[in-house]
Structure 1
Amino acid sequence: MEPDSSPESPSPEGSSSPGECPSSALGPAFSQILHHLTSQGPRRSEARNAALQDLSVLVEATECDKLFEGNGASLGGTPEMLGKVAKALEKYAAPTKEQERGGDGFSAVAEKAAAVGLLFMKLLRKVESAKNSLVCFSWKTVLRRLAGPIYIFAVTHNLEQPWTRPASQDVAGEVLVLLLQVAECGSVAGFLHGENEDEKGRFTMIMGLLKPDLNKESWKNNPATKHVFSWTLQQVTRPWLNQHLERILPPSLLISDDYQTENKVLGVHCLHHIVLNVPAADLLQYNRAQVLYHALYNHLYTPEHQLIQAVLLCLLDLFPVLEKALRWKGDAARPTTHCDEVLQLILTHMEPEHRILLRRTYARNLPAFVKRLGILAVRHLKRLERVILGYLEVYDGPEEEARLKMLETLKLLVQYTWPRVPCRLVVLLKALLKLVCDVARDRSLTPEPVKSALLEEATACLILLDHCSLGQVKGLLAKILQSCDDSKVVNCIRKVQQVSEGAPHNGS
């Protein structure tokens, strides 16, 4: 440690090593270490490195009963000071916004994290020793002070991120395992919400530590904070999450409302976890569900396919919550739902969309919307027909994801709205036959299993159309067999014709 003439510098008699401080000098020693860890002077790097070395020596050389006793001048004594030192160490090893912009600064972060991680492991081993000691009874207080900062450090550097390296990830992983061991928790989830109903978890404490860095002005100062919040949130599920709703909903909305797509997607994932794990009654209270809906709905106007995918999945799980507030009287028309509103917007965007990734994203989720609406999909029948037929005409690359999903959507639509299908029979039949012929003659790089899947799904749609039209499709296809010489097309037509005459004609 650098020479320091401040009155707080420890000067134990007959000893020059910090590790040999008597218990009365531990408070000043920790104060000096804390001062160097948080210093902002021109030589702060040297002071912090020296403080790390001194802290390591101090922890190693001091017995746990002396290290953890509470005789310091401040409230809580040495445990309180240890908690402050742990917070300072976590901040010291955390990445900053400036380092994120600089690029190479993250290498230094990984080096700091490895050094701090080793220090945290020494502290945790001291706590473990104190648990087995007959004279040290304050280990629970110490662990309570240390657990939060050590957890945040471990999660910050354990996940694969730009500021982590294999060595720092390994150390952080060991720190997390040791923390759970000392806390006698079988999992991170148990550590956060408690191992049993009577035990109070540490989720509230963790959120309290993250809160100063999760407001509008500060949440981007540390690029790791949003990931620590998101990962921690994902660990807590029903029935524990709803009691923390006021702590987790504002940061999730804040992150999702950012201008960067990466942050929007992360925030939407947080919101989705909340929707899945908080009871509908709590989400409907204070109009929270409507707030969530409008925040998600606004994202549907953006052209980023990753964001659209995350938003649509979240909305599909939010619809049942929103619809609990609707009351339908049997003598009146069913009210338009939020699902209707979203599907209408999706179809509006799908018709002119030419970007392949967005087309696939919309197509991937369209069957779920038709399932959700059921027979009420008839409200959107004309637009769905236009979109389905338009997408079936366009080659979608080797995987043909969009066309396969459109065939799945068409099957569902025919099943739910079969009384309206006969008047559209000719249009749908032409589109399906054209698709079958195009696939049969396709000489591109499309794998054979994909071609087979397309032909199989198209055949299933033809069979459903035949059921809905009371056998009209068979009669129309019979003429094609006389002039068609393509074996794949003929095979599809014969499958339709071989359907049992006694099959129900209700689209099911």
Structure 2
Amino acid sequence: MELSGLLRALRLEGPRDGAQPPPAVPPAEQVLLQIGLLCSEGPGGAHRASVVRDLGALVEAADCQWLLAGVSPATLGELVAALSGYAAPPKQEQEAADLPSKDSAYTAAAERAADVGAVFVHLLVKLEAAKTQEALGVPTVGPILRRVVGPIYIFAATHVVERPWTNVRSRSAAQKLLVLLVQATGCESVAEFLRGKNEDEEGRFAAVMGLLKQELTKDTWKCNPATKFVFSWTLPHVTRPWLSRYLECVLPPSLLISDDYREENKILGVRCLHHIILNVPGADLCQFNRAQVVYHALYNHLYSREAPLIQAVLLCLLDLLPILERAQRQQKQARPTALYDEVLQLVLTHMEAEHRLALRRVYARALPAFVRRLGILIARHLKRLERVILGYLEVCDGPEEEARLGILETLQCTIEHAWPRMPCRLPVLLKALLKMIWDVHTDQSSTPEPVKAALLQGATECLILLDRCSEGQVKVLLAGVYSSCEENRVRECIRKVQENT
């Protein structure tokens, strides 16, 4: 094993003139302290990278007794922290840094992370082997593990998925580290490692968040580009019922990230909020008006013009509004559905004037859920909803026809829940549905046949529902159309309506 670079870096070699004999090799404690000090000075260059690689060889070849018995857990913890800092992605003081220099810095960070990851892998292997040695065992290994698992987990989460600051080697090392961490702590999965084996046991999530907390403040969360991804990758592993005990430490950073001006950060934060809503009891969310704070943060995003963000926000709101509605009902408020009305009114206002197909699809997919949640109370919005339905039925939105299929489902739900209000709207809706059936039949674009069949089926079901709530008026009005129409596909739709009882 060639360790001359490491020895020179630690200044352990004596003079070469023979005047004095070389000093004895210092104990592991002194070696590791000096290496940690060396790495904490910054990323460095090829010299420091060589030292880290030599350190990996040293840890791999060292005897467990020499490496662990004479070293305090604090020393190993400081070494792991120093190596993690050495391998961290470059700080982002300004987001508008020029891309070529940023790319080269990320490439160098990935190489450093691959070397550090190898050191951590060797260290965890040694710790696992030391558990079975009589002279060491769990009493020695346990305190060391408690010191190092948090920083090593954050390092692994930083590099486990493809990011600008990772490469194949660093991702491979991170995946091995996660496997070894789970094994070393006697768990079966990363989720169990973080949350504990049962509800009464506390996992390592609190320790991880304790380390992340200082980087998840308003002034610091953008400095390290990996911090938000480590948080958002870790959070989904902690589910109900464990997450409620950590609500105070996960809700503020989620709101902070979602409040950013960049769309990708907004979406990331909204997804974190959605996970919290799904995995924390409603009573805990409503305490101290937390749910109201989240609602207002999400509601403000509805003014965005970006389809991915609107989709994430609408899905989140659909799970948050029932919690707020139950809280309002318990407080005996007069109109517990007022928030549904508020959201739907804004959504319909945007839908009516929207011309971008991506946004029209997002709105149309979410609309049926709002109609179902409001039930008969959708009658409050029928005038504007009718205009939206008529406008969306007219416009083809591409091969998959997601917007028109969503609007047809919305119309079905509306007829089912507000059927007493439908007969007066029958002439307008019947005309729009027949026009859409004809447009689909004569469509010569690339729309697949299954999509056309789904559109025709949806329109037919709407006609059947309209006929039922109008006591057979649709059959009477369609009789003349059926006798004069020569197109088999259109006649088939009308026949289904006429034969339905």
TM-score, reference length from structure 2: 0.92
For residues 471 and 117 of structure 1, do their structure 2 counterparts lie closer, same or farther at Cα, with a shift above 3 Å needed?
Answer: same
1:256 counterpart residue number? 258
Structure 1 stretch displaced more, 280-289 or 148-157: 148-157
Look up the equivalent residue of 1:281 and give its one-letter code. Answer: A
Distance change in 2, residues 1:333/1:432 (3 Å): farther
In structure 2, the CA distance between the partners of 1:281 and 1:432, relative to structure 1 (3 Å rule), is same
- 1:498 and 2:492 aligned: no
Deviation per CA, 1:92-128: give whole Å up to 9, x if none.
Answer: 2221245894223222122112111110011001101
Per the alignment, residue 45 of structure 1 pairs with 45
Q: Does 1:55 align with 2:55?
A: yes
Q: Per-residue displacement from partner, 1:240-272 (whole Å, max 9, x unpaired)?
A: 000001110111011001111000000000000
Report matched runs for 1:214-225 at 5 Å. 214-225=216-227
| 1:265 equivalenced with 2:267 (yes/no) | yes
Alignment partner of 1:196: what SS?
A: coil
Kindly indicate whether the alpha-carbon contact (under 8 Å) linking 1:36 and 1:51 is maintained by their aligned counterparts in 2: no
Q: Secondary structure at the match of 1:44?
A: coil
Tell me the equivalent position of 2:72. 78
What secondary structure does 1:344 align onto?
helix
Q: Which amino acid aligns with 2:153?
A: Y
- List aligned pairs for 1:416-431, cutoff 5 A: 416-431=417-432
* Separation of aligned partners in 2, 1:192 and 1:88: 23
Q: Say yes or no: does 1:457 pair with 2:451.
A: no
Change (3 A) 1:57 1:355: same
Does the CA contact (< 8 Å) of 2:49 and 2:112 recur in 1? no
Matches within 5 A, 1:92-107: 92-98=86-92, 101=99, 102-107=102-107
Q: Is the 8 A contact 1:328 1:335 kept in 2?
A: no
Secondary structure at the residue paired with 1:239?
coil
The equivalent residue for 2:241 is 239
Q: Deviations over 1:435-460 (max 9, x none)?
A: 11111111111111111110000000
Query: Quick one: distance in 1 between partners of 2:185 and 2:22?
Result: 35
Contact 1:36 1:47 in 2 (8 A): no
Alignment of 1:139 with 2:136, yes or no, is no
Post-superposition shift, 1:490? 0.6
Which of 15, 27, 31 does residue 33 from structure 2 map onto? 31
Does the Cα contact within 8 Å between 2:368 and 2:409 map onto a contact in 1? yes
CA distance in structure 1 between the partners assigned to 2:129 and 2:200 by the alignment: 26
Give the counterpart letter for 1:175 in structure 2. Answer: L
Q: Distance in 2 between matches of 1:59 and 1:345?
A: 61
Query: Equivalents in 2 of 1:288, 1:142: separation in Å?
Result: 38
CA 38–466 in structure 1, closer or farther in 2 if over 3 Å, else same: same
Deviation at 1:130, TM superposition (A): 1.0
Q: Aligned pair in 2 of structure 1 residues 336, 129: CA closer, same or farther (>3 Å)?
A: closer
Question: Which residue pairs with 1:482 in the alignment?
Answer: 483
Q: Tell me, in whole angstroms, the C-alpha distance in 2 between the residues paired with 1:197 and 1:432.
A: 54
Q: 1:445 to 1:50 in 2, by over 3 A?
A: closer
Per-residue deviation, 1:200? 2.4
Amino acid across the alignment from 1:425: L
1:327 aligns with 2:329: yes
3-state SS of 1:481 partner: helix
CA contact 2:13–2:22 (8 Å) conserved in 1: no
Q: How well do the aligned residues superpose, as a CA RMSD in angstroms?
A: 2.2
CA distance in 1, matches of 2:493, 2:404: 17
CA shift for structure 1 position 50: 4.3
Whether the 8 Å contact between 1:377 and 1:417 is mirrored in structure 2 is: yes
Is 1:164 the counterpart of 2:158? The answer is no
- Listed as ranges, the gaps of 5+ residues in structure 2 are 1-5, 15-19
Report whether the alignment pairs 1:90 with 2:92: no
- Separation in 1 of the partners of 2:83 and 2:10? 24
Partner of 1:505: none
Q: CA deviation at 1:404?
A: 0.5
Query: Are 2:326 and 2:336, in contact at CA under 8 Å, matched by a contact in 1?
Result: no
Other-structure match for 2:210? 208
Q: In 1, distance between residues paired with 2:119 and 2:21? A: 27
> Equivalents in 1 of 2:369, 2:22: separation in Å?
73
Secondary structure (helix, strand or coil) at the match of 2:133 reads coil
* Consecutive unaligned residues in structure 1, runs of 5 or more: 72-76, 501-508
Residue 284 of structure 2 is aligned to residue 290 of structure 1 = no
Shift of 1:180: 1.1
- TM-superposed CA distance for 1:395, in Å, is 1.0
* 1:441–1:46 distance in 2 versus 1, CA, 3 Å: closer
